[in-house]
Amino acid sequence: MTVSIRDLLNPHILSLEPYQPGKPVEELERELGITGSIKVASNENAWGPSPAALVALRRALDDANRYPDGACFALRDRLARERGVDPEQLVFGCGADELLELLAKCFLAPGDEVVYAWPSFAMYPIVVQGNGGTPVPVPLGADLVHDLPAMANAVGPLTKLVIVCNPNNPTGTSVGAEAFDRFARALPESVVLVVDEAYAEYARRPDFPDALAWIGRRPGTVVLRTFSKLYGLAGLRIGYGIADPELASYLQRARHPFNVNRLAEVAALAALDDGEHVEKTLRGNAEGIEYLTRELGALGIEVWPSDANFLLARTGAAVYEKLLRDGVIVRPLHGFGMPDHVRITVGLPEENERVVKALRRIREASA
């Protein structure tokens, strides 16, 4: 008799559905034998990393033999001032993804439930299930916005965490202060509220919620941010959580000592000071959202109002595959039960034009 490794495995790992990243440009070009493709599939910053971060990175390479500062002292100090919080309220991670993982590790016991909206960030069910928790997805409401009253109703005695993704990925929709505040006020203290603000810097609605203010009102609140999107450092992997000092100390206890690498730390610090790059990104993004909304609308493609750096578009079935053949990689959403929709990341102006041209050709071919 031989032992099956499968039988040794934790059952919740066996049932995990792996995360599907955007298709790499190299893979598409190899498969189709084409060149000059573009990828607008992963909500990356089309304007690149901050030039100031690049300068700092080159200098930091010489110290690659040294372990990073595990406490992220300089970055912590700078960011605390930027966000108006105490340094001990910050916890850094290998992307905001690691903060989700740390929250699950700290708070979930087998069978504990995590309430979140769906469709939303694909990592939520993976992190929850991977830590033995039970995902409780709550369908988005009208206009594909978080249905906060339904999420409140889904909270029960087994609920440990509730995640609000604002603005929401992959829809780009957001909830306003009034709805959010009402939800946060009514949430039982026995539940940790996680507000995933990976795209908050892009939000343009004047009544965007002040989630940070809730840390003072209910200590079981954590706000997540990342350097992957606005700051253009997705490849270096750095994000952070902001929480009450006590909660933050537990996340600190659970993390590995050198979870943020030296280069990420150095680049994040430089990127924070590069207001010009931030400005350029926000301006280019706003123009791109406006352009894509107008042009897709003219093609009769429904798009949702976006507070992020991407757009949800109802292009019709099989358009993801047709765009691939045209060398344009967007994010398909059939994994979310939305086979007629794709998510399009805002690119440089010429990339946005390329997306529109390809969609126009597809429309004309099927007319």
Task: State yes or no: residue 163 binds ligand PLP (CB under 6 A).
Answer: no
- Taking the least distance from each CB to ligand PLP, the nearer of 333 and 356 is 333
Distance CA 313, CA 296 (A): 8
- Taking the least distance from each CB to ligand PLP, the nearer of 193 and 358 is 193
Exactly one of 92, 118, 121, 214 binds ligand PLP (CB under 6 A); which one? 121
Asked if 105 and 252 touch (Cβ cutoff 8 Å), the reply is no
- Taking the least distance from each CB to ligand PLP, the nearer of 195 and 362 is 195
In this structure, the number of other CB atoms found within 10 A of the CB of residue 300 comes to: 9
Asked if 121 and 254 touch (Cβ cutoff 8 Å), the reply is no
Task: State yes or no: residue 118 binds ligand PLP (CB under 6 A).
Answer: no
Burial tier of 108 (Cβ tally within 10 Å: 0-12, 13-18, 19+): buried
Q: What is the dihedral of CA 338, 153, 131, 103, to 10 degrees?
A: 100
Give SS3 for 274: coil
Task: State yes or no: residue 95 binds ligand PLP (CB under 6 A).
Answer: yes
Q: Which of residues 198-227 bind ligand PLP (CB under 6 A)?
A: 198, 226
- Taking the least distance from each CB to ligand PLP, the nearer of 205 and 325 is 205
**What tokens does 318 get?**
């099989």
Q: How distant, in Å, are the alpha carbons of 50, 156, 243, 306, 307 from that of 330? A: 24, 37, 34, 16, 18
DSSP letter for each residue of 212-256: THHHHH-SSEEEEEESSSTT--TTT--EEEEE-HHHHHHHHHHS-
Task: State yes or no: residue 97 binds ligand PLP (CB under 6 A).
Answer: yes
Distance CA 237, CA 232 (A): 10
- Taking the least distance from each CB to ligand PLP, the nearer of 95 and 133 is 95
Exactly one of 56, 79, 163, 165 binds ligand PLP (CB under 6 A); which one? 165
Task: State yes or no: residue 264 binds ligand PLP (CB under 6 A).
Answer: no
Asked if 342 and 315 touch (Cβ cutoff 8 Å), the reply is yes
Q: How many CA atoms lie within 13 A of 103 on its CB side?
A: 33
Exactly one of 145, 161, 234, 355 binds ligand PLP (CB under 6 A); which one? 234
With contacts defined by CB under 6 A, how many residues of the chain interact with ligand PLP?
13
Least distance to ligand PLP, CB of residue 366, Å: 31
Least distance to ligand PLP, CB of residue 167, Å: 8
Distance CA 70, CA 65 (A): 15
Task: State yes or no: residue 345 binds ligand PLP (CB under 6 A).
Answer: no
Q: What is the pattern of x (binds ligand PLP, CB under 6 A) and - over residues 50-89? A: ----------------------------------------
Exactly one of 50, 166, 228, 259 binds ligand PLP (CB under 6 A); which one? 228
Least distance to ligand PLP, CB of residue 152, Å: 21
Site stretch for ligand PLP (CB under 6 A), options 95-103, 156-164, 214-222, 259-267: 95-103
Least distance to ligand PLP, CB of residue 7, Å: 33
Task: State yes or no: residue 288 binds ligand PLP (CB under 6 A).
Answer: no
Distance CA 226, CA 212 (A): 15
Binding stretches for ligand PLP (CB under 6 A): 43, 95-97, 121, 165, 169, 196, 198, 226, 228, 234, 239
